[in-house]
Amino acid sequence: MSPSAIAIVRVQAFPGRAAALGEHLHRLISQVRRQPGCQGSELQALAADRWQLLTRWASQAELDAHLSSPKAQRWLNQLGCGDLALELAFESRSAD
């Protein structure tokens, strides 16, 4: 079996948009939890205007498939190019 993978997304809100970004991220994480291969997720507030989304995947292949899906690309585009997020950082690594 392939090793499991963890994806971490850190997001900082545009000034004055922290509450709207928080609401958006809560909706987003509930949708990600339903994606094939997702074994769990959590959303943490790091500061008043910064969040971290952590998702665990059954394998790196399933994480890669999720990230390349049109749905995931829309979600990332909404964060990175919208009026909610000032900064977006992504990393993935083996969970094993």
Q: How many domains does the chain have?
A: 1
Whether 1 is in a domain gets the answer: no
Whether 2 is in a domain gets the answer: no
CATH code at 44? 3.30.70.100
In this predicted model, what pLDDT tens digit does every residue of 39-89 receive, in sequence order? 999 999 999 999 999 999 999 999 999 989 898 888 777 776 668 888 888
pTM for the full predicted model: 0.84
Domain extent at residue 56: 7-94
Distance (Å, rounded) from C-alpha 40 to C-alpha 38? 6
Q: What are phi and psi of 30, to 5 degrees?
A: -70, -30
